[in-house]
Structure 1
Amino acid sequence: MTSPASSSSLTVLGHDGSPLSAEARELLERASLVAGGRRHLAAVPVPPGARTIVMGELRAALDAIDEELDREDGDHHVVVVASGDPGFFGIVRALRERGRRPRVLPALSSVQRAFARAGLSWDDALVVSAHGRELRRAVNACRAHPKVAVLTAPGAGPAELARALFPQTPRTFVVCEDLGGPRERVVRVRPAEATTRPWRDPNVVLVLDQRRIAAAAAYGERGWIAGARPGPARWALPPADFAYGAPSRGAAGTGAEIRAFALAKLGPRVGDMVWDVGAGRGEIAIECARFGAAVVAVERDEAACEGIRANVRAHRVKVAVSRGTAPAVLEHLPEPDAVFVGGGGPDVARACAARALRSVVVVVADADRVQGAIDALKGESLATQAVSLSAAPFGAAPAAPVYVVWGERAGTATGPEGRRGRAVPQRPPASAAVTVAELPEMDVDEVDGMDGESASGSVR
């Protein structure tokens, strides 16, 4: 008599602390293997005969799940218990990358619970993960966007976020700990307080720019797409759209066509930090902010800084303005992914190239300055090219050429978590207490184009 063929099944069960459904209990009763975090395994009824795996080292756990499902000596049913909605920054992706097709029973995601606890809508929120990823990209998203949910991890939690943002970027934190668990706590704090308080197992931190949220409501803005706004309807805006101030000397020829080329080489996007050095009217800074990047505009003249602020307000974007002379003023700015240099000599270009993680674009009006810019970028190991560009309205006299030099750091790769260049300097450890007095003081302010206000302070 032939024995029946063996069968296997894989279920991912979302758990948010609520009582399990009858279907979930039935699946657990049949399980031959149950995998999950320690607190998940302690929270669900694991049948006496089932093996358990603690999901600590992910690859080893996935290997064990594969081994169980591939056995041919009977029925094998695997249940993976995960937090909230396991299809949202969760285990479902990793299982499908292994060729598995799990059945998924989701619970409320931690992001849903966090916004519900805060009493806020979240269709207009940007959700980013700092769990096993670069914290700096999450920080840049919080600099640029008014409502961000950050999925945290040990070493990338409220204290680390606060140290990166405070005091130059004023925000409100809603820290959600152990959501759905027995020690659930939701605390609303300022970043200054978040740097020193002890936090236990935070799941989500909501980072809120209250002024911009209120201003958007006052303008009656209603989105049609969840998350961050889509990119700008048009870019490489005409010079007339930047009515205030005067262009920097080095970027005097950066009209719309030249600016379009520069933006293509900079590649600004959500999670990036871009410097606009010798910002003039702030054209590049504003265009990059419209793409969702965090931006610092650097100018040495206070009148020019006022012009930048006025243009930022006119375009209703967010840009930090730093007044000072490069390269000295650059020392304490946040690490940039890309830098546009519209003023200064080779020493400024080289200082920017030394810090840039991905790319640098230098625009000069004089041919005799091109080689100096090329040498500066090559000296910091950037693969460098240069072109001369000229654009004029049809039928008009040809315009004088403008020279664009750009360099890209070798080995940067585009992937799901973004381009990565050289190593980013480490932040203070999670246990370190950072006070306001220990932070470097700079003449930097964050200009809020939604309501015209700015907050003075420092930047890390």
Structure 2
Amino acid sequence: MTRMVAGASATPGASAAPANAVTVVGLDAAGAPPHPALGPVLGAAGLVIGAARHLAVVPVPAGADTVTLGPLAPALHRLAGAVAAGVPAVVLASGDPGLFGIVRRLRAAGLPLRVVPAVSSVAAAFARAGLPWDGAAVVTAHGRDPRPALNACRALPLVAVLTAPGAGASELAEGLIGWSRRLLVAEHLGTDAERIRAVTPQQAAAETWADPHVLLSLAASDSADRPDAAADRPDAAADLADAARDQLVLDGMRADNQPAAAPAEGWALPESRYAHRDSMITKSEVRALVVARLRPRLGRLIWDIGAGSGSVGIECALLGAAVLAVEQDAGAGATIRANATAHAVDVRIVTGRAPQALVGLPEPDAVFVGGGGVDVLAAVVARRPERVVLTLAALDRVAPAVGLLRAAGYTVEGAQLSAARLADLPGGSIRLAATNPVVVLTGERP
């Protein structure tokens, strides 16, 4: 999974490519005519490789050999032979072949390349929706575990996903139910069968979508995520774009154009940066270690159980992770929502008492247990996340927690944090004011 900003793979006249380079030509996903460079290189080609649909729409020279792409190994073998023999070879691909495309595999095979890109399906989808995408995250679910792509959609306000059979809009949308998202699904871009629909996650999960298609995930207000919020009508995409544009692009996107970068103001922020009740907040010194142990990043899902003010989960979201905050107090849930809004991150809030509230939640990569007893910890380790981090003020709870983690197969590290902060005294003197000591345990699954 990768974040990118729009750009071309190469220019048609790139002089860095050697004379025997394989020419990789993108066919425009937006339906425009092929690039003018295609005609000359195709006319001189002795070997042309591409998917059946690509070979069917270009004038392959009568004397050229063709290979229809299926398994890539035979095509790589033929290309290597053509390069060695000095036979001009052309590879046809979709859109920009440097965007999650065949360029990476050809480079890994050591082949010299000249790339002539076209408009990618992602650029075409955003253009059809009338949305800017210079701050979007572009990820892929094609040929890999789709969970990082799904978690990017859960974490960020504007994400484009390149899909694959079995990892398409239906499957991803099912994992987005419960998050405030609107979806645009673009099918058959650039063809007579092109269709773009604006749907809710519930609607998308219930549909069957034609391959290939591109999924755009846009953050939305809770009221916009109703089943009747997007109708299946020709102007639904335009309606969705108009309704979401100001909120998403102007307010929801980071000004520095880096949606998954480290937060500009850092993390382990002082407690004064959060609304909280009666000092019920993880102190910044403890939060620094907890967030480091959770290892939040784009593509991971973090649970924050007993979230309180939401400070731990919010700082994980600032580092790009998708976050689920579980809190039994409805009033605290409103505080978490206000804090998340103040820090311009998206945190899904589940109101309920753990461990019952954990039933049915999507599988986490890491969990912070800031509240609850041994039964909550037992329910967490039963889900087998990679890492479990918990804070304990009472020493008599440490040994049972360590034993439970070890019995579940986790290796355990622990440390007691005792911080003393500078405080002013009358007359200009300074003293140290101690904060309550806290034990931080980290369980890691081998």
Q: Same fold (TM over 0.5)?
A: yes
Amino acid of the residue matched to residue 286 of structure 2? I
Amino acid of the residue matched to residue 258 of structure 1? V
Name 1:163's counterpart in structure 2: 174
Name 2:426's counterpart in structure 1: none
Give, in angstroms, the shift of residue 178 of structure 1.
1.7
Give, in angstroms, the shift of residue 380 of structure 1.
2.4
Name 1:66's counterpart in structure 2: 80
Name 2:153's counterpart in structure 1: 142
Matched, 1:13 2:41: no
Amino acid of the residue matched to residue 389 of structure 2? V
Q: Please show how residues 391-430 of structure 1 align to structure 2 within 5 Å.
A: 391-394=419-422, 395-410=431-446
Q: Distance in 1 between matches of 2:248 and 2:201?
A: 23
Q: SS state of the match for residue 403, structure 1?
A: strand
Give, in angstroms, the shift of residue 105 of structure 1.
0.4
Matched, 1:177 2:209: no
Matched, 1:48 2:80: no
Q: 1:12 to 1:336 in 2, by over 3 A?
A: same
Name 1:76's counterpart in structure 2: 87
Give, in angstroms, the shift of residue 228 of structure 1.
4.7
Give, in angstroms, the shift of residue 401 of structure 1.
2.5
Name 2:45's counterpart in structure 1: 31
Amino acid of the residue matched to residue 94 of structure 1? R
Q: SS state of the match for residue 38, structure 2?
A: helix
| Residues 77-120 of structure 1: per-residue CA shift (max 9 Å, x gap) | 22111110111111111111222230000001111111111111
Q: 1:59 to 1:387 in 2, by over 3 A?
A: farther
Q: SS state of the match for residue 160, structure 2?
A: strand
Question: Relative contact order, CA 8 A, sep 6+: which one is greater?
Answer: 1
Q: Does the Cα contact within 8 Å between 1:245 and 1:303 map onto a contact in 2? A: no
Amino acid of the residue matched to residue 189 of structure 1? V
Q: 1:219 to 1:164 in 2, by over 3 A?
A: closer
Q: Please show how residues 434-445 of structure 1 align to structure 2 within 5 Å.
A: none
Q: Distance in 1 between matches of 2:124 and 2:81?
A: 35
| Residues 254-283 of structure 1: per-residue CA shift (max 9 Å, x gap) | 311111011111011112111011112111
| Residues 430-457 of structure 1: per-residue CA shift (max 9 Å, x gap) | xxxxxxxxxxxxxxxxxxxxxxxxxxxx
Query: 258-267 vs 27-36, which deviates more?
Result: 27-36
Q: 1:288 to 1:114 in 2, by over 3 A?
A: same
Amino acid of the residue matched to residue 443 of structure 2? G
Q: SS state of the match for residue 375, structure 2?
A: helix
Q: Please show how residues 270-285 of structure 1 align to structure 2 within 5 Å.
A: 270-285=298-313
Give, in angstroms, the shift of residue 402 of structure 1.
1.2
Q: Does the Cα contact within 8 Å between 1:123 and 1:227 map onto a contact in 2? A: no
Matched, 1:100 2:111: yes
Q: Distance in 2 between matches of 1:217 and 1:30?
A: 46
Q: Does the Cα contact within 8 Å between 1:388 and 1:401 map onto a contact in 2? A: yes
Give, in angstroms, the shift of residue 150 of structure 1.
0.8
Q: Distance in 2 between matches of 1:193 and 1:90?
A: 29
Give, in angstroms, the shift of residue 317 of structure 1.
2.0
Name 1:131's counterpart in structure 2: 142
Give, in angstroms, the shift of residue 60 of structure 1.
3.9
- Give the count of matched residue pairs: 396
Q: Distance in 2 between matches of 1:403 and 1:300?
A: 23
Amino acid of the residue matched to residue 211 of structure 2? D
Q: Distance in 2 between matches of 1:173 and 1:216?
A: 13
Name 1:446's counterpart in structure 2: none
Which blocks of at least 5 consecutive residues in structure 1 are unaligned?
1-6, 411-460
Q: Distance in 1 between matches of 2:181 and 2:161?
A: 13
Matched, 1:301 2:324: no
Q: SS state of the match for residue 286, structure 1?
A: helix
Q: Does the Cα contact within 8 Å between 1:387 and 1:403 map onto a contact in 2? A: yes
Give, in angstroms, the shift of residue 219 of structure 1.
4.8
Q: CA RMSD in A?
A: 2.3
Q: Distance in 1 between matches of 2:249 and 2:216?
A: 18
Give, in angstroms, the shift of residue 130 of structure 1.
0.8
Amino acid of the residue matched to residue 235 of structure 1? W
Matched, 1:238 2:270: yes
Give, in angstroms, the shift of residue 191 of structure 1.
2.5
Which blocks of at least 5 consecutive residues in structure 2 are unaligned?
1-18, 222-243, 423-430
Q: SS state of the match for residue 420, structure 2?
A: coil
Amino acid of the residue matched to residue 405 of structure 1? L
Q: 1:77 to 1:200 in 2, by over 3 A?
A: same
**TM-score (normalizing by structure 1):** 0.80
**TM-score (normalizing by structure 2):** 0.83
Q: Does the Cα contact within 8 Å between 2:152 and 2:298 map onto a contact in 1? A: yes
Name 1:291's counterpart in structure 2: 319
Give, in angstroms, the shift of residue 220 of structure 1.
9.7
Q: Does the Cα contact within 8 Å between 1:247 and 1:281 map onto a contact in 2? A: no
Name 1:428's counterpart in structure 2: none
Amino acid of the residue matched to residue 27 of structure 1? V
Give, in angstroms, the shift of residue 286 of structure 1.
1.2
Q: 1:60 to 1:356 in 2, by over 3 A?
A: farther
